[in-house]
Amino acid sequence: MSITRKIVLAGNPNCGKSSLFNQLTGLKQKITNVPGTTIENKEGSYKVGSTQIKLIDTPGTYSFNPKSLDEKEAVKVFFEDIPPQTILYIADAANLKRNLFYFSQLAQHNIPMVLALNMLDIADFKGFEIDIDRLEKELGIRVFKINARTGEGTDAIKKALAEEQFVPHYAFGSELDHTHETHYDAISKLLNKTTTLKSKRELISNKIDAYATHPILGYLMFLVVLLVIFQSVFTLASYPMDWIETGFATLSELLSDLLPDGWLKRLVINGLIAGIAGVVVFVPQIAILFFFMGLLEDTGYMARVSFIMDKMLRGLGLSGKSVVPLLSGAACAIPAIMSTRNIENWKDRLITIMVTPLMSCSARLPVYTLLISMAIPSTMIFGVVDLQALVMLAMYVLGTVAALAAAVVFKWLIKHDIPSYFIMELPIYHPPRWNNIWINCWQKSLSFVTEAGKVILIVSVVLWFLASYGPTAESNLELKQAGKIEESYAGHFGKAIEPSIKPLGFNWKIGISLITSFAAREVFVGTMSTIYSVGDEENFEQIREKMNKDTDENGKPIYTLAVVLSLMVFFAFAMQCMSTLAVVYKETKTWKWPTIQFVYMTALAYLGSWIVFNLFQ
Partner 1 sequence: MKLTELAIGQIARIASVEESPFKEKLQEMGCIAGVLIKPILKAPFGDPIAYELEEYTLSMRCNEADSIVVRPLDPLFNIS
Contacts to partner 1 by CB under 8 A: 62-63, 65, 67, 94-98, 101, 126, 180-181, 184, 200, 205-206, 209-210, 213-215, 218-219, 303, 307-308, 310-312, 314, 320, 344, 418-419, 421-428
We find the least distance from the C-beta atom of residue 123 to partner 1, in angstroms, to be 9
We find the least distance from the C-beta atom of residue 488 to partner 1, in angstroms, to be 56
* Shorter beta-carbon distance to partner 1: residue 212 or 512: 212
* Shorter beta-carbon distance to partner 1: residue 53 or 69: 69
Question: Distance between terminal CA atoms of the chain?
Answer: 79
CA atoms of 467 and 460, how far apart (whole Å):
10
Alpha helix ranges (H) inside 16-109: 17-25, 69-76, 96-106
* Shorter beta-carbon distance to partner 1: residue 349 or 544: 349
* Shorter beta-carbon distance to partner 1: residue 5 or 321: 321
CA atoms of 272 and 456, how far apart (whole Å):
10
Contact 277, 248 (CB under 8 A): yes
Contacts 24+ apart (CB under 8 A), 129-138: 129/195, 129/196, 129/197, 129/198, 130/93, 130/96, 130/194, 130/195, 131/194, 131/195, 131/196, 134/193, 134/194, 135/190, 135/194, 138/170, 138/190, 138/193, 138/194
CA atoms of 505 and 559, how far apart (whole Å):
9
We find the least distance from the C-beta atom of residue 14 to partner 1, in angstroms, to be 9
We find the least distance from the C-beta atom of residue 549 to partner 1, in angstroms, to be 53
Main-chain phi, psi angles of 221, to 5 degrees:
-60, -45
We find the least distance from the C-beta atom of residue 414 to partner 1, in angstroms, to be 17
* Shorter beta-carbon distance to partner 1: residue 422 or 438: 422
Return the amino acid letter for 287: A
* Shorter beta-carbon distance to partner 1: residue 396 or 422: 422
Alpha helix ranges (H) inside 483-591: 489-501, 508-516, 523-531, 540-549, 561-573, 578-588
CA atoms of 64 and 87, how far apart (whole Å):
14
Are β-strands 3-11 and 51-57 bridged in parallel, bridged antiparallel, or unpaired? parallel
We find the least distance from the C-beta atom of residue 97 to partner 1, in angstroms, to be 5
* Shorter beta-carbon distance to partner 1: residue 163 or 181: 181
CA atoms of 566 and 568, how far apart (whole Å):
5
We find the least distance from the C-beta atom of residue 128 to partner 1, in angstroms, to be 8
* Shorter beta-carbon distance to partner 1: residue 212 or 367: 212
We find the least distance from the C-beta atom of residue 585 to partner 1, in angstroms, to be 28
